[in-house]
Amino acid sequence: MKALKLTKPEGNNAYEKYRKVLSLDKNNKKAKQGIQSVANKYVQFAYSAIESNRFERARYYLSKATQVSPGSPNTLKARISLQAKMENHRKKMMSRQADSRDNREESPSERIKRILGGS
């Protein structure tokens, strides 16, 4: 996992190796922990993307984490964080647009229309 071959390339990645060990020994603690480590690494990548407002990238990483470890509480928390950050970002953008409309200067033609009553 040190080379960050988490789920790629196919046939030579950490996730597949841990799965192979589990197919031979379904109770292998190191393999179970390894799979969770792979998922957690994707969650870390997602948080980094969330902080950078790279929401599509964060979704990608969370999708990978879910594929590796479905139902992981860490992934669920990160999804909630992503949704909150996206909503906050959306509200900020809407506020900026409203401020921009309120603060824009009236053009000469708009001023004339206003003075003449829209005619």
For residue 30, the number of C-alpha atoms closer than 13 Å in the C-beta half-sphere is 7
pTM: 0.77
Does residue 101 lie in a domain region? yes
Mean pLDDT for 106-114 is 77
The answer as to whether 4 is a domain residue is no
- 110 assigned to some structural domain: yes
Average pLDDT taken over every residue of the chain: 90
Is residue 79 in some structural domain? yes
Query: What residue numbers bound the domain in which 94 lies?
Result: 14-115
**Window from 39-43, 51-55, 88-92, 106-110 with minimum mean pLDDT:** 106-110
Confidence at residue 119, expressed as pLDDT on a 0 to 100 scale? 55
Total domains present in the chain: 1
Long-range contacts of 99-107 (CB under 8 A, 24+ apart): none
Is residue 2 a part of any domain in this protein?
A: no
- Is residue 9 in some structural domain? no
Least confident of 4-8, 96-100, 112-116: 96-100
